[in-house]
Structure 1
Amino acid sequence: MSRPIERRPSVQGNERALSQSHVLLFFVVLSFVYVFPIVRADYAYVDDNWRALLQAQDAWRNQGRILLEGLYRALTFSEATINIFPLPLLISVFALALAMARLTFWLFPRPGITSCLVILPVLCNPFFLGNLTYQYDGPGMVLALVAVICAITCRIERRSVRGLLAALLIAVALSLYQLTISLFIGLCIVEYIRGVKDKVAVQALLVTLVERVVQLIVGGLIYFFTAYQLAIDTRGNHLPFDQQWFEVVWQKFCFSMQMLGLLTASAGNGVAVALLLGASAGFVLLMSNIPQMQGRLSGKLGVALLYLLGLVVLVCSVPGMMLFVAEPNLEARNFIGFAAVLVLLFFLNHELFGRVWPGLRWLLIMPTLFMFAFSYAYGQVIIAKKELESAMAHYIANDLVSRSELRSVTKYYYLRAPGDGNWLPRGHGAMTQMPLLRYILSGSNSVLHAQFFPRLGINNVIGGEHSVFAQLAASGRVGAPLVDNRFYSIYVAGAQGFIVMKPIQEDENYNQHWPAVP
């Protein structure tokens, strides 16, 4: 790991510098407050439904995330993925609070409360709510962030040892969740810009950057020759390099930028524009330090070029490696790199406000409050989603156990309707005012999962394929539905049953049925 760059104490104005214990207390309290809505909701999110039934125990290993499998074996004292939520989340969030406290002192020599606000987006990245919602995968993703932060903030004096330890921590992060490497890249850019702010000598700044690149490469190689050798899941395969490669990458990039636009709409244009304008002014202000740095003119020109290119790399790190893999879907949980973007935006505003009047730094409370408000709004949305899933399951379960004509069925195949996962009447208002909520809820979600039914004492419902049902229907082996209602139909073919969910066509807006107020 690169040696910490010497820098002058920053001016905090009238803001009192915090001790290490106070900084840690700040992050512990606010971190637990932030994740409370998710703990309270206790919602089984997508993969959680089948992991809780101990299905596909080697799924993480097949994805090259072997350490996540080891984590659950250690926490559950067993060989299975027993659901012990929220214990893993609480442990991992506490570890992240420790890491964020460490990151604060790495970025600020004498941090105050507003300095801590700059670091808080590491956890409070709105897109990261999609990761935290996973009861099984979420804690591992959080610990991957911890590994990345420890790699960045390593202070061992000996360069070779520091670099090797950082590379090992990068490999650990990749073995927990590969996409967290975007945060490492983003924090490297923040470190580079911090070096420009502190007018570090050109040679020292460039050496630090080279060290980071070497650490990233070595860490990637360690991961490739260890945990990655166990990966057999094809979702991580790279895009074929053909005539359509650039077009697909560009489409993914444009889509990710559109999703960032949803965040702007959710936060309110005023807050978002003010944050961006302040960061832009701060970026230009710090760039004026480059001519004052010690070094040759050619070196300063190189620093200036890298300073500008850093923004391009930072933006591209938001979708990160997802731009180059065959997986077509870009989910909110993939945007881990956006945490570094927020940290930089907060950092640049913090620096600008400090130059104008240090008291202005308290304005960072406004976007911070939005992040917390967004988390609590999301908590209410997933509670509504949980209630709707439970209601749907009870509707179906009542038919399965009460209708005599279904008693001969030994196995049911559940066929979800495409694109039905985000229909949520109770959450319509929130998702209209904060459109990013609908995206975080995930398009890969469903109005109901087949693995929900064991909660209701029904063990013979499994996931099915529409193509199989269509073939049976075409051959005449499936007759008229025995149950046909607003949300689903139930068909029988011999000893097999098919629960076919219907596409939900009606508007989820409850208020449209009320007369307009004159």
Structure 2
Amino acid sequence: MLGNERALSQNQVLLLFVVLSFVYVFPIVRADYAYVDDNWRALLQAQDAWRNQGRILLEWLYTLLTFSEATINIFPLPLLIGISALALAMARLTFWLFPRPGITSCLVILPVLCNPFFLGNLTYQYDGPGMVLALVAVICAITCRTEQRYVRGLVAALLIAATLSLYQLAISLFIGLCIVEYVRGVKDKVAVQALLVTLMERVVQLIVGGLIYFFTAYQLAIDTRGSRLPIDQQWFEVVWQKFCFSMQMLGLLIASSGNVLAVALLLGASAGLILFMTSIRQMQGRLPGKLGVALLYLLSLVTLIWNVPGMMLFLSEPNLEARNFIGFSAVLVLLFFLNYEVLGRIWPGLRWLLIIPTLFMFAFSYAYGQVIIAKKEFESAMAHYIANDLVSRSELRSVNKYYYLRAPGDGNWLPRGHGAMIHMPLLRYILSGSNSVLHAQFFPRLGINNVIGGEHGVFDQLAAAGRVGEPLVDNKFYSIYVTGAQGFIVMKPIQEDENYNKNWPRVP
């Protein structure tokens, strides 16, 4: 009976998560798409790049998996290992949140992986598995059940340090799950003192874990991308602009999922928040303590929203990419948890309605898989156009080195994916503005070894000095110039309409 959902064993919960997780990532494995940094990492161009970003554990992970010090591409093996570990971690998290979980209880935990913004992270053939394992470390820190408080705190702190050494932004999930834990404590009417002590333990774990990371892996970081935003007169304005931008991107998710589904989830969650708020009066403790719990309850929800972009708000990095929104996984878990509780109090069978947003997350993943396949096909075609010119024209074959200049602006012009990205606008954002039409490191797979990345400033200086003549090749997508022993492949911004259907004749 739907109203009497059967409790699952630990093995059954684990099996469910393994199956659903592999179904979810199948489109990414099938696409086998080299995303943003993957092209140059596959050519072993920066062996110490992770170390320089304070992510030494990711470097060690590939040393272990490839049996060498080189970052050899062994995709999808690392991703499959990471997803298997995450399925095990989500099973642990399920029993941490629910004493006797059923299938619908597992749906509450599934957004840890099925966060639509996390699809960009999973697409990275190199960085993605480390990001997944960072989530595993966070969940293990949250679910550590060692009875001795100091041992439990030390283990959690070490796991937090490991998280930061894999992918720093994953700490947003830890903060978010701490808020979920606090909300659950309010729902369960935990004694005021016990609830506040648990919250303080989490704060201490976070601080100690951060200190361990700072004095270990962080000392290897020399990359300036993680530098703090300078505190000056513009500081608050920049932070606020970043936050508003992140909220706009959440609006794209609502537009992609449909207003009815989003409004239903938000209404159910709002009812749950109000319902739990009334539980504070029944908690054991004095009135000042209850007032403090109520204030923290409200502040925790505000913190959860700010935690979506997380520490990116306070870094000098100007770009907020979809992969930065790991904290949104905790938002989804809380939304699902609140709806789970509200629906269960009306009638337990209504909890199966959580299948609807779950199906959306899976449908979105498969739509994204088709978009990156289209992107891969377009990039391959573009590279073949250029490679054909370089190997077939005698005046181009003699050039020793070509500098590849990417087109300015967004490179995600994609006619085949236009329809999907109109109806699911979040797809274009996840595809990433950093993902240009083509990368110079793509050409070696076509047998072209003399194309490297170039700078527009150098080319412009040569052109201004009259050292660049007319292009030897000039077509819709690019121009090829030759000056002496070097050449320039200059990509053009594509101004043509992306919508193919506008040119299709309509039947009156």
Structure 2 counterpart of 1:483: 473
Q: Work out the percentage of aligned pairs sharing the same amino acid.
A: 88
| CA contact 1:487–1:504 (8 Å) conserved in 2 | yes
> What SS is found at the alignment partner of 2:113?
helix
SS of aligned partner of 1:55:
coil
Tell me by how many angstroms 1:517 deviates: 3.5
Residue 232 of structure 1 pairs with residue 222 of structure 2 = yes
Q: 2 CA distance for matches of 1:475 and 1:408?
A: 24
Counterparts of 1:21-36 in structure 2, within 5 Å, are 21-36=11-26
Alignment map for 1:216-227 (pairs within 5 Å): 216-227=206-217
1:297 aligned to 2:287?
Answer: yes
**What TM-score comes out, normalization by structure 1 length?**
0.97
Aligned equivalents of 2:95 and 2:507: distance in 1? Answer: 55
Q: Is the CA contact 1:420–1:504 (under 8 Å) kept in the aligned structure 2?
A: no
The answer to whether the 8 Å contact 2:412/2:428 transfers is yes
**Which residue does the alignment assign to 1:149?**
139
Query: Are residue 16 (structure 1) and residue 27 (structure 2) matched?
Result: no
Partner of 2:270: 280
TM-score, normalising length: structure 2: 0.99
1:101 to 73, 91, 100: 91
- Alignment partner, residue 513 of structure 1: 503
Alignment of 1:133 with 2:139, yes or no, is: no
* 1:422 is the counterpart of 2:408: no
Aligned pair partner of 1:324 in 298, 309, 314: 314
Cα distance in 2, alignment partners of residues 190 and 406 from structure 1:
61
In structure 1, distance between residues paired with 2:296 and 2:165: 30
Shift of 1:350: 0.2
Separation in structure 2 between the aligned mates of residue 176 and residue 385 of structure 1, nearest angstrom: 28
Contact 2:410 2:434 in 1 (8 A): no
**Which consecutive unaligned segments of at least 5 residues does structure 2 have?**
none
Is the 8 Å Cα contact of residues 473 and 481 (structure 2) preserved in structure 1? yes
Q: Equivalents in 1 of 2:316, 2:271: separation in Å? A: 38
Give the structure 2 partner of residue 87 of structure 1: 77
1:462 to 452, 456, 472: 452
Q: Secondary structure at the match of 1:489?
A: strand
Among 151, 157, 164, the residue aligned to 1:167: 157
Is 1:45 matched with 2:35? yes
SS of 2:480's equivalent in the other structure is strand
Find the partner of 1:186 among 176, 195, 199: 176
Distance between the aligned counterparts of 1:21 and 1:405, measured in 2? Answer: 66
SS for the counterpart of 2:281 is helix
Q: Residue 6 of structure 1 corresponds to which residue in structure 2?
A: none
Provide Cα deviations, 1:137-183, integer angstroms capped at 9, x if missing partner: 00000000000000000000000000000000000000000000000
Equivalent residue, structure 2, for 1:120? 110
Extract structure 1 runs of 4+ deviating beyond 2 A: 515-518
Indicate if the aligned counterparts of 1:317 and 1:337 stay in contact, CA closer than 8 A. yes
Query: Does 2:186 align with 1:177?
Result: no
Assess if the C-alpha contact under 8 Å between 1:186 and 1:314 holds in 2: yes
CA–CA distance in structure 1, aligned partners of residues 294 and 60 of structure 2: 44
What secondary structure does 1:242 align onto? Answer: coil
Q: Is the 8 A contact 2:462 2:468 kept in 1?
A: yes
Map 1:375-414 to 2 at 5 A: 375-414=365-404
Secondary structure of 1:94's counterpart equals helix
Partner of 2:440: 450
Give the Cα–Cα distance (whole angstroms) in 1 for the partners of residues 185 and 76 of structure 2.
39
Aligned match for 1:312, one of 269, 281, 302 = 302
Q: Which runs of 5+ in 1 are unaligned?
A: 1-11
The superposition leaves residues 327-375 of structure 1 with CA deviations (integer Å, 9 ceiling, x where unpaired) of 0000000000000000000000000011111111000000000000000
Shift of 1:13: 4.6
- Residue from 215, 221, 243 that aligns with 1:253: 243
Aligned 1:339-350 pairs, distance under 5 A? 339-350=329-340
Displacement of 1:408 after TM fit?
2.2
Secondary structure of 1:468 counterpart? helix
Corresponding residue for residue 55 of structure 1: 45
SS in structure 2 at match of 1:14: coil
Letter in 1 for 2:108: V
Which whole-Å CA distance do the structure 1 matches of 2:473 and 2:166 have between them? 45
- For residues 499 and 485 of structure 2, the distance between their equivalents in structure 1, rounded to whole angstroms, comes to 40
Match of 2:488 among 490, 498, 501: 498
